[in-house]
Amino acid sequence: MKTAVAFIACLIGVALGASVIKDGREPDNMREICFDKYGCFSTDAPWTSLIRPLGALPKPPHEVGTRFLLFTRGAESEGYELMPDKDAILRFSDFQATRKTYFLIHGFTDSHKADWIWSTKNLLLQNEDVNIISVDWAPGAKAPYLQATANARLAGAQIARMITYLEQKGDLNIDDVHVISHSLGGHVAGYAGDRLLGRLPRITAIDPMDPYFGGTDPIVRLDTNDAKFIEVIHSNSDSASNLGLGIPGAIGHVDIYPNGGKKQPGCHDTLGNLIISIIDLITLNFDGAISTWACSHARAAHFYAESISDTSSCPFVSYACADYSTFQKGSCYHACGEREKCTALGYNAKNHPASGVYYLHTTDGANNHTYCKQMVQLQLPVSITQAQTQGSLTLVFRGHDGTLSETFSLADNVRISPGQILNLWVEVPNYILRTPDEKTSLILRYTRGGLIPGNQAKTLALDEVDLVVIKPDLTTLTTSYQGVTLNYGTDTQISV
C-alpha cells in the first residue's frame, strides 16, 4: 500500500469483522456478487491490487439501506422519500422536472442529517426553487471502513438507477442535475456518474477520501470520465503520517486547494490526537461522525455552504498557480481578466469555466466569522509634488464594528518618489470588507526611514487611494479615496 492511513484502515476492517477477500484466496470462494437491477460487483483487479490488498463485496441493498429524501420549498424540513419503480409515490411528491435537481451525498459514518447537508440544502432552497434529493446510505457508510468502501459501489449504482428512473418517469433532464458529495461520498458520486456513462453535467466532490482510493485505477475512484465537469475541493490532503484523509492528487477538471489543501487554519485535528497507536485505532469507537474528529476534512463542506450564502458579496476567488509555495509568495494574484487564471470555489464555479489547479486563502472562522476573503488590489499614486523620501507605508482596514484587519505593508523603508504608484494585492476578511462596493475605513501610517530619518519628508502626499475589488462575477470594481496627505508617525483614518 502507498499510505499508512490506507493500511490502518484495512486493519480496522479486519479487526471489526468485515467480510474480506484477500488477493484471490477467499475463504468462501466469493469473488463476485450480483444484485437484481444493480448488476454484478467483483473483487478482481483493479478492485484488489497492491494499493488495495484486501477486497470486500457490497452488502445486499437492504443492509446498505440507501434512501432518497426529496426536499423542496414546499417541504423544507421533512424529506419525502422517493423510491425507484414506485410511480404513485413520485406522482404525489413535489418533484418537478422543470426545476434544477441537486443530489447531496454524505460520506463515511455520516447520514443525511450531517450539518453540511442540512445547511447546504437550506441555503440552496433559499437561493433557488429546486429539487433537493438527499441520499442517505448511513447503514452502508458505517465502520468498518473497508466494508464501507465496498458498499459505496452499490450506493453509486442505486443513485444512477434513481436518476434513470426520474428521467423515464419524472421527465428529469439530466442536464439539470448537480451532484454534491463529501468524503467517501465523492467516490459514490463517481460510481453513479460512471454508471450513467459520464452524462452527469456536474459533480462537486468535497475532500474525497484518499485511503484505498489514492493512486488507484480511475474506475475505482472519482475521475474526469464520470461527469462533464468535476470540481474537487481539497482540504485535508496531508501526509499519511499526519493522518490526512483527503485525496492529495488532482483528479477533477478543476482542483481547488484552500490554504494549501492539507490542514485548515483554526483546526486542531483531534483524530491524530486520539490515535496513539495502531492498537488504539483498531479498538476505537467509530460510531460518531468522522467530521467530529477531522476538522480539516469537514472544513471544505463549510466553505461550500458559505459560497452559497454569500454569493452576492464574496466569491472565494481561487488562482491558478504552479504550486502552493509560489501562491504564498503572492506571485499569482491578478485581476482575473484572463480566462482560466481565476475561478470561484463552490456554488459560483458554474459561472466560470476553468481547468487545472487553483489555490486560495481563507480565515479560520473564529468567533463565528465567515471564511471568505475579499481580494483587493491597493493602488496608491504618490503626488507629483511630493518630495522624494525614504520610509515605510502601512494600511489597515477597519470594519463597521471596529474590527481591524492585519497590517499590510506597501513600502518598507524604501525610496518613495513623486509620481510613483504603490501597488499591492491583499486578502481582506469578508467580515471586515463585506461587499466589493463597500467604502470601509482605512488607517494609513507613514514612517520616515533611512540612516537619518529626520532628513526625510515630514508628510507623504497621495493623489488617491484606490481599492480594486474582485466581484462575484470575477470582474473588478474600483473604490477611490481622493487627496490624502499623511503626517509621519501618526495614524490617518480615511472614510466616507
CB 301 within 8 A of CB 116: yes
- Clarify whether residues 387 and 300 are in a common domain: no
pTM for the complete prediction?
0.90
The answer to whether position 109 is within a domain reads: yes
- Clarify whether residues 166 and 276 are in a common domain: yes
Domain of 396 in residue numbering reads as 373-494
- Clarify whether residues 170 and 257 are in a common domain: yes
Mean pLDDT, residues 297-304 taken together: 94
The answer to whether position 469 is within a domain reads: yes
361 is a catalytic site residue:
no
Q: What's the distance, Cα to Cα, between the start and end of the chain in Å? A: 61
pLDDT at 231 over 80: yes
The confidence score (pLDDT) of residue 496 equals 59
**Domain limit, last residue, from 287, 309, 331:** 309
Q: What is the pLDDT of residues 387-411, one digit of tens each?
A: 999 999 999 999 988 999 999 999 9
CB 144 within 8 A of CB 114: no
The confidence score (pLDDT) of residue 335 equals 86
The answer to whether position 345 is within a domain reads: no
Q: What is the pLDDT of residues 415-469, one digit of tens each?
A: 999 999 999 999 999 999 988 777 789 999 999 999 999 999 999 999 999 999 9
The confidence score (pLDDT) of residue 263 equals 92
Report the CATH number at residue 444: 2.60.60.20
pLDDT at 22 over 90: no
Q: What is the chain's percent helix, strand, coil content, to nearest 5?
A: 25, 30, 45
Q: What is the pLDDT of residues 57-108, one digit of tens each?
A: 999 999 999 999 999 998 888 889 999 999 999 999 999 999 999 999 999 9
User: Cα torsion for 300, 302, 304, 308, to the nearest 10°?
Assistant: -170
- Clarify whether residues 173 and 284 are in a common domain: yes
Mean pLDDT, residues 245-253 taken together: 95
Mean pLDDT, residues 261-284 taken together: 61
**Amino acid (1-letter code) at residue 157:** A
State the catalytic residue, choosing from 110, 194, 207, 466: 207
- Clarify whether residues 165 and 269 are in a common domain: yes
- Clarify whether residues 108 and 187 are in a common domain: yes
The answer to whether position 317 is within a domain reads: no
Mean pLDDT, residues 310-323 taken together: 86
State the catalytic residue, choosing from 106, 182, 187, 297: 297
312 is a catalytic site residue:
no
- Clarify whether residues 294 and 394 are in a common domain: no
3-state secondary structure of 456: coil
CB 212 within 8 A of CB 149: yes
**Amino acid (1-letter code) at residue 43:** T
Q: What is the pLDDT of residues 150-192, one digit of tens each?
A: 999 999 999 999 999 999 999 999 999 999 999 999 999 999 9
Q: Is the peptide bond before 144 cis (omega within 30 degrees of 0)?
A: yes
The answer to whether position 348 is within a domain reads: no
pLDDT at 279 over 50: no
What's the structural domain count of the chain?
Answer: 2
The answer to whether position 97 is within a domain reads: yes
207 is a catalytic site residue:
yes
The confidence score (pLDDT) of residue 281 equals 39
pLDDT at 291 over 70: no
- The rounded percent of the chain whose pLDDT value lies above 90 is 75
3-state secondary structure of 7: helix
| CA dist 182 → 33, 444, 488 (Å) | 27, 43, 52
The confidence score (pLDDT) of residue 439 equals 73
- Clarify whether residues 156 and 284 are in a common domain: yes
The confidence score (pLDDT) of residue 154 equals 98
pLDDT at 131 over 80: yes
When pLDDT is cut at 50, 70 and 90, the band that residue 339 belongs to is: confident
**Domain limit, last residue, from 309, 344, 364:** 309
The answer to whether position 338 is within a domain reads: no
Which residues is 359 bridged to in the sheet? 257, 319
- Clarify whether residues 92 and 237 are in a common domain: yes
Q: Average pLDDT over the chain, rounded to whole?
A: 88
Closest Cα partner for 38 from 13, 64, 18, 56?
Answer: 64
- Clarify whether residues 47 and 177 are in a common domain: yes
The confidence score (pLDDT) of residue 421 equals 97
CA–CA distance, 359 with 257 (Å, rounded to integer): 5
The answer to whether position 188 is within a domain reads: yes
State the catalytic residue, choosing from 183, 235, 318, 405: 183
**Domain limit, last residue, from 256, 274, 309:** 309
3-state secondary structure of 256: strand
Residue corresponding to grid cell 458559505: 306
User: Cα torsion for 148, 151, 155, 160, to the nearest 10°?
Assistant: 130
- Clarify whether residues 275 and 415 are in a common domain: no
Other C-beta atoms within 10 Å of 330: how many?
11
* 18 compared with 101, residue with greater pLDDT: 101
CA–CA distance, 92 with 85 (Å, rounded to integer): 14
CA–CA distance, 132 with 122 (Å, rounded to integer): 9
The confidence score (pLDDT) of residue 240 equals 62
Report the CATH number at residue 124: 3.40.50.1820
pLDDT at 484 over 80: yes
- Clarify whether residues 105 and 215 are in a common domain: yes
